[in-house]
Structure 1
């Protein structure tokens, strides 16, 4: 008798476990269904959860993640958000299954229908997007339907008519069917979702770029040093750092930029308004304040747009202290009003409309300053009477000032004849780069490196290259001097809170 009870308990536990796994699979399918419907956009059910995770993470943890994990920290954060989202819909699916069992006596209700309808509720609450919510409900409902196929109810539920050994067999069959359904929905969702929301209404690039843009792009290619393993003067892959894992989708036709605050009259500008002004093309380099000293979050592009002064002149801005930029992703950054003198509003990047990931339809560029104040998806320029903290300042960073001078070492090539070639990029914001020096003996002696010819503009990086004959294992050190005669400081400082600085060095074996 006791053995029979124990066997019954084990069977019940297995059935409950299977029911739990099926609920978890339904949660995965709900997320996949939402992705299939709206893609990687703010309407995706995991997007608001990710925003919540970022908002509730302590500043110290964010700072540690930036410095220690880099991009991996962002990926792990979004993975946590995905996990929490799946668990939310898994619990909802379990409740839906139980609810269907509870009301099955007076009115038979398929568990798949109950789960599907119930999953729509949290999805709609999270996103406010009916299409995304419907996708989540269909995804979860289909998995439960697959699990129930050939049986009167999901195994483990009160409505199941199977018992004993038959129940275990039915549970296994239902689990395999649920797994197959989840794989199918996940695969279909991945294909459908990848083609949705990739760029808002960003026009697809077609045809050649404008002649003046093409000429500048060709100039950047011609002036690039031919060094194996070193990116040219025009970046092929531009780094991306944002506060949210999912970029906003902004319609160009609906976008407008408001100028508010301490101005004689507040005003608003559409994208058409900007494009009706005299456009300019500028090479501008951006560097992330949170990158490591020899990191690769520093890139250059040719931007097309209009000076911010063209907008501010019309509002007759008084001589106030500061300005706050605000963006469609709820990001905001404050800096001195004087920095707007050479500010730029860009709507094209390398002759094409801005990619969604880089601020489509319009972003701000503030020459000479850290990348964080070059706000993407900008929606408001607010002139302030008193200083206020921006997003990263509230998290302890002080990166609104001019960028630090740096010479990076990114390429080491062993050439024929035993020679070694080292190369990299150097950048000092609007101060420009006058000189890069290389030491092959750990800093005891120095030699000038070859610099690439400067590109047009006041805020552009340069490449450097040096070839030499080695004498055994050695340490290569590089340092830059800016256009004002200031040498890159030797002392190494971590990125937090003012940006990384110091000489870059690398141990090289011949």
Structure 2
């Protein structure tokens, strides 16, 4: 009997739940249609909450096991939460309307709280209308469908479900088309640059030409400065701020807080510097290490202009809610950059401005940086709160990417080596599994920079059959990288890279 009662209760409430969830999904689609994939999209603030408060164990699993799929999982989770949240509000409004005897007004009763919630979440009341009107439309269609035709309650419920599902499908398709177009347009114009910003200076052209000349021409090996650069963020929806709206504030343990706007930064004498970034979460022989020519100003000069005293640490804050702590000494040597490889900094890489801290793991090169909070005592940044320890100098690594056969029957192996500001002095290869013999390799000339990788290549006569190739690096201070392999968690991957070659 209890099971039958439960089944009857589920059947009685299922249509209302379906209508509510359809309204919630339509609200998300409507928000996407109005705002595109921007911070005004209602899922964006929900995603920020998810990434901010998710337990560290979940973050570690996502980084180690899912890789790039972890960000998509976070976005999917945030989308589901947004659907449930907005759907619950729409369902509540619809229920209030029916209880009050004004069922024909169920649409507005559902749409208004959804619009209000979207406004609170995004701070954009006009764009939030996309969510509110979409929920209003779905609930209104369901209400009309339930009143048409026979007085049979079951038939009316079925019509409500079909009506809400059909309207959701239509809104979903329209939302995806409009939102995709809007997101593309916004991304391309997210950080409008001053006139002439697209021009590449002669000094930059010369530096990039030098990097090209120093690069080995090896098939499958990325040049010293490539066209692509890895992207890793805790936020799925990236901020977009126009240059005339951006500013950097220096706050915390300082006499007077100081703010620099974009013009304050860009009118200073530019500093151009090659620098390599390596993600703390990448696997030992992964491909989340890249190099670019960055243009900006020294943060130390900004700190001096702001009369910042000697302090322990800094907490750098990004507009996406990310925050990371590291020593002020490292900050003084950092760059606040606004161009990469001579071009305006792309949105995905932190436009209008980001930090570049030579030699340190990629996580402290905060993107979309808006505040430097000077601290008297150490504090935990985002990744430290999740159990990681990647604010220090990057580990030494030699990577093995290329394994090819040459026309003369010899083998060629090649890769990159990086050791932060310590530099790379030597790379060695063993073709017997790291046993009796080690051979020096050809190294590319180092780029002019404090923290840059080098390419390496080695050609040899292969022994018969399958053999193990091992590569190791020695930094500029004479320290051989540790042999024992360790994973990314918690302090970055380390160890000798090896591959079976046949």
In the alignment, which of 115, 118, 123 is matched to residue 120 of structure 1? Answer: 115
The aligned residue for residue 184 of structure 1 is 173
Are the structure 2 counterparts of residues 170 and 507 from structure 1 closer, same or farther at C-alpha, using a change threshold of 3 Å?
A: same
Establish whether residue 414 from structure 1 lines up as the match of residue 409 from structure 2: no
Deviations along 1:89-123, one digit per CA (max 9) or x if unpaired, are 2233333433443445xx56344333323321322
Establish whether residue 203 from structure 1 lines up as the match of residue 155 from structure 2: no
TM norm structure 2: 0.89
Deviations along 1:433-468, one digit per CA (max 9) or x if unpaired, are 112111121102222222222211121111112233
Cα deviation, residue 324, structure 1: 2.7
User: What is the count of residue pairs matched by the alignment?
Assistant: 493
The aligned residue for residue 499 of structure 2 is 506
Kept after mapping to 2: 8 A contact 1:93/1:119: yes
Are the structure 2 counterparts of residues 15 and 271 from structure 1 closer, same or farther at C-alpha, using a change threshold of 3 Å?
A: same
TM norm structure 1: 0.88
The aligned residue for residue 43 of structure 2 is 46
In the alignment, which of 266, 277, 282 is matched to residue 273 of structure 2? Answer: 282
Distance in 2 between the 1:197 and 1:120 partners? 22
Kept after mapping to 2: 8 A contact 1:144/1:178: no
Distance in 1 between the 2:481 and 2:186 partners? 43
Distance in 2 between the 1:165 and 1:83 partners? 29
Distance in 2 between the 1:161 and 1:101 partners? 19
Q: Provide structure 1 residue ranges, at least 5 long, that are not aligned to the other structure.
A: 1-5
Kept after mapping to 1: 8 A contact 2:36/2:180: no
Establish whether residue 223 from structure 1 lines up as the match of residue 214 from structure 2: yes
Establish whether residue 431 from structure 1 lines up as the match of residue 426 from structure 2: no
The aligned residue for residue 490 of structure 1 is 483
Are the structure 2 counterparts of residues 261 and 119 from structure 1 closer, same or farther at C-alpha, using a change threshold of 3 Å?
A: closer
Once the two structures are superposed, the pairs formed by residues 143-154 of structure 1 within 5 Å of their partners are 143-145=138-140, 147-148=141-142, 153-154=144-145
Kept after mapping to 2: 8 A contact 1:396/1:497: yes
Corresponding residue SS for 1:438: strand
The aligned residue for residue 3 of structure 1 is none
Hey, which bits of structure 1, 4+ residues long, moved more than 6 A? 12-15
The aligned residue for residue 283 of structure 2 is 292
Q: Provide structure 2 residue ranges, at least 5 long, that are not aligned to the other structure.
A: none
Distance in 1 between the 2:254 and 2:159 partners? 72
Distance in 1 between the 2:114 and 2:324 partners? 37
What is the root-mean-square deviation of aligned Cα atoms in Å? 2.8
Distance in 1 between the 2:461 and 2:135 partners? 65
Distance in 1 between the 2:423 and 2:174 partners? 53
Are the structure 2 counterparts of residues 352 and 162 from structure 1 closer, same or farther at C-alpha, using a change threshold of 3 Å?
A: farther
The aligned residue for residue 453 of structure 2 is 461
Establish whether residue 375 from structure 1 lines up as the match of residue 370 from structure 2: no
Kept after mapping to 2: 8 A contact 1:142/1:181: no
Corresponding residue SS for 2:243: coil
Once the two structures are superposed, the pairs formed by residues 432-447 of structure 1 within 5 Å of their partners are 432-444=423-435, 445-447=437-439
In the alignment, which of 26, 29, 32 is matched to residue 29 of structure 1? Answer: 26
Kept after mapping to 1: 8 A contact 2:35/2:179: no
Cα deviation, residue 348, structure 1: 0.8
Distance in 2 between the 1:195 and 1:19 partners? 36
Kept after mapping to 2: 8 A contact 1:162/1:170: no
Are the structure 2 counterparts of residues 63 and 161 from structure 1 closer, same or farther at C-alpha, using a change threshold of 3 Å?
A: same
Kept after mapping to 2: 8 A contact 1:38/1:131: no
Kept after mapping to 2: 8 A contact 1:37/1:192: no
The aligned residue for residue 250 of structure 2 is 259
Corresponding residue SS for 1:345: strand
Corresponding residue SS for 2:471: strand
In the alignment, which of 463, 467, 470 is matched to residue 474 of structure 1? Answer: 467
The aligned residue for residue 271 of structure 1 is 262
The aligned residue for residue 352 of structure 2 is 361
The aligned residue for residue 450 of structure 1 is 442
Deviations along 1:330-388, one digit per CA (max 9) or x if unpaired, are 33222222223422111111111211222211111111111111122222233333333
Distance in 2 between the 1:311 and 1:165 partners? 70
Are the structure 2 counterparts of residues 160 and 285 from structure 1 closer, same or farther at C-alpha, using a change threshold of 3 Å?
A: farther
Are the structure 2 counterparts of residues 217 and 119 from structure 1 closer, same or farther at C-alpha, using a change threshold of 3 Å?
A: same
Are the structure 2 counterparts of residues 338 and 121 from structure 1 closer, same or farther at C-alpha, using a change threshold of 3 Å?
A: closer
Deviations along 1:147-190, one digit per CA (max 9) or x if unpaired, are 44xxx7343x8x97542786587467536633542343333343
Kept after mapping to 1: 8 A contact 2:337/2:354: yes
